A and B are shown apart, each in its own frame.
Chain A
Amino acid sequence: MPTRSYGVSSLVVVNETVISSGTFSNAGTKFDRFTAASYTLGENGEISYDAIGYINFNLFPTIPASASITRVACSGVASGALTTSGTGGGSSVIFISFTSYPGGSTIEEDGEALTIEGSYGQSLGWEIIYDPPKTRAQIITLFGSAGNYPTSGTYLGAALTCTAFADIITPGDASSNATLSSWTFEVTYDLENYSWYIKPTIKIVNGQPVKIIEDATADIVQVIDGEDPPEVLFGELPYEFYGTGEDFPDGPEYVWWESVDFYIFYIYSPITPSVPGITTWIPLAAPPACVGCLTLTLGSLDVLAADASGIYVLTNNKSNDTLYVRPDGGTVDVKIPNPRIRIAYLP
């Protein structure tokens, strides 16, 4: 029985399907800890790490409202005279302990509301805002100390939500634009489900480089045509956060893509997500690094013959199909779709 095998060479080929998709599933309480030798408070609640030029935690807007900050520590400031430490009982409670009364502190009154703020040793600015506000009488009752001042070792309790943590270290205030040494931030929070997808709205040829950018005004991930290379636009990331009934505020700060390489994007995550089909997670060690930053390799694109020209060449003894990729002119060998024979029914 003579046999002959053929492969097909054809023109190609674009991708019109979802490039990649998946779901993060990390139920349960997570623990995270950020430390560094020295941080400088920046604007808008950001913690910038000037020692290496760039690090952007954006901790405050990205901590879920359901989080429980269990420890805020700051040591080594001003020869160690001032330490802040403690544990928070229950949810959304922060305690700060002073070994001595922080000199320079003042009590500001705005009507019935009262705020304690001040600085210590020209190095640490701090502010505690009570929400709801407390009056002076309530403060005195709370601390029971002469002069309305807390005594040494007294815990200052502030009923703040986690997202209001920035009020402790006030961004933009002159007194808080200071350096903290040996700064430690620990937080536990729940991260349950997170889904994402990347779906270009124009055709991307397999292997074609694209530029991934972020645009908060966009509501989907899309590809902008007419650019060279095409730009993959990420706006309000299509994620959903379950469990608490609240979305992460300012999602793109929590997960974002920033790369000129189409196959890589960064996910700012303190944990390693579990994404079906994605196995390569590389913690970033060098700038632009941040604790918990990871890279995710999307993998290769599925190539579909959505734009095939119909020009085919049958080649004897060719054991695969060759697709020509436009516009680069390269080729890619793919398998012949399951070649088969089937005999007649017997007997």
Chain B
Amino acid sequence: MKSKSTEGLINHFGSVRIRLNGTGNLKLNYYSLDDSISETLVTLSMSSAPGKEILQLSNFTTQRASLQIRTTEIDEVFKISKIVVYAKSVASGYPQ
């Protein structure tokens, strides 16, 4: 079967699942190409032993997205061993 290229498609980034241990609050942001648009996700409250992978919803539509993860306060620590980004193509391109 002929493969379909996903190059340039418009994607909806609906959630991210993270294997996360830590203390403090974790800040997550999506950025588009050139950081022209972004979205701030709901801050995650970290636990040293959460006992589960955390699924965080998002609503970000762009061609390609980069996820930034950070802390901003003293003595906050995070350890991430897996990140799964869920996205779905919703359009083939922007209007000309």
At the interface, yes or no: B44 with Cβ under 8 Å from chain A?
Answer: no
Asked if A142 is at the interface of the complex by the 8 Å CB criterion, the answer is no
What would 28 A/B residue contacts be, using CB atoms closer than 8 Å?
Answer: A3-B80, A5-B77, A5-B79, A319-B74, A320-B74, A333-B74, A334-B74, A335-B72, A335-B73, A335-B74, A335-B75, A338-B70, A338-B71, A339-B71, A340-B68, A341-B68, A341-B70, A342-B31, A342-B67, A342-B69, A344-B66, A345-B33, A345-B65, A345-B66, A346-B13, A346-B65, A346-B66, A346-B87
Question: 0/1 per residue, A324-347, Cβ < 8 Å to B?
Answer: 000000000111101111111111
Contacting residue for A340 out of B6, B65, B69, B85, CB 8 A: B69
B85 touches A342 (CB 8 A): no
5 tightest Cβ-Cβ pairs between the two chains A and B: A340-B70, A335-B74, A345-B64, A342-B68, A319-B75
Q: Does A311 contact B (CB under 8 A)?
A: no
Whether a CB of chain B sits under 8 angstroms from the CB of A286 is no
CB distance from B59 to the nearest CB of A (A): 16
B2 within 8 A of A: no
What interface size band does chain B fall in?
20 to 34
User: Is there contact, CB below 8 Å, between A346 and B69?
Assistant: no
Is A37 engaged at the interface, CB distance under 8 Å to the other chain?
no
A1 interface residue per 8 A CB criterion: yes
Binary flags per residue of B21-48, CB closer than 8 Å to A gives 1, else 0: 0000000000101000000000000000
Nearest Cβ in chain B — how far from A97, in angstroms? Answer: 66
Residues of chain A at the chain B interface (Cβ within 8 Å) = 1, 3, 5, 319-320, 333-336, 338-347
Q: Total contacts A to B, CB within 8 angstroms?
A: 62
**Chain B residues within an 8 Å CB radius of A347:** 6, 11, 64, 87
* Interface residue B76 (Cβ < 8 Å from any Cβ of A): yes
Q: Distance in Å from the Cβ of B33 to the closest Cβ of chain A?
A: 7
Q: How far is the CA of A171 from the CA of B68 in the complex (A)?
A: 72
Do A3 and B81 contact each other (CB < 8 Å), given the known contacts A340-B69, A343-B66, A345-B64? yes
Among B6, B31, B66, B77, point to the contact of A319 (Cβ < 8 A): B77
**Smallest CB–CB gap between A325 and chain B, Å?**
17
Chain B residue contacts of A342, Cβ below 8 A: 31, 66-69
Q: Is B90 in the interface zone, CB < 8 Å from A?
A: no
Report B's interface with A, CB cutoff 8 A. Answer: 6, 11, 13, 31, 33, 64-77, 79-83, 85, 87
Nearest CB of chain A from residue B76's CB, rounded to whole Å:
7
B-side contacts of A3, CB under 8 Å: 79-81
Known: A3-B79, A5-B77, A319-B76. A346 touches B71 (CB 8 A): no
Shortest Cβ distance from residue A194 to the other chain B in the assembled complex, whole angstroms:
35
B47 nearest CB across to chain A (Å): 16
In the docked arrangement, what's the CA distance between A5 and B75, Å?
A: 11
CA distance A1 to B83 in the complex (A): 10
Closest A residue to B24 by CB, please name it: A319
Closest chain A residue to B9 by CB distance? Answer: A347
Query: Of all chain B residues, which has the CB nearest A336?
Result: B74
* CB nearest neighbor in B for A344: B66
Q: Are B70's CB and A343's CB within 8 A?
A: no
Q: Please give, as numbers and ranges, the residues of chain A lying within 8 Å of B73 by CB-CB distance.
A: 335
| A335, B67: Cα distance in complex, Å | 23
Q: Select from chain B the residue with minimum beta-carbon distance to A335.
A: B74
Q: Is the CB of A320 within 8 A of B33?
A: no
A343 neighbours in B (Cβ, 8 Å):
66-68, 83, 85
Measured in the bound complex, the distance between the Cα atoms of B87 and A345 in whole Å is 12
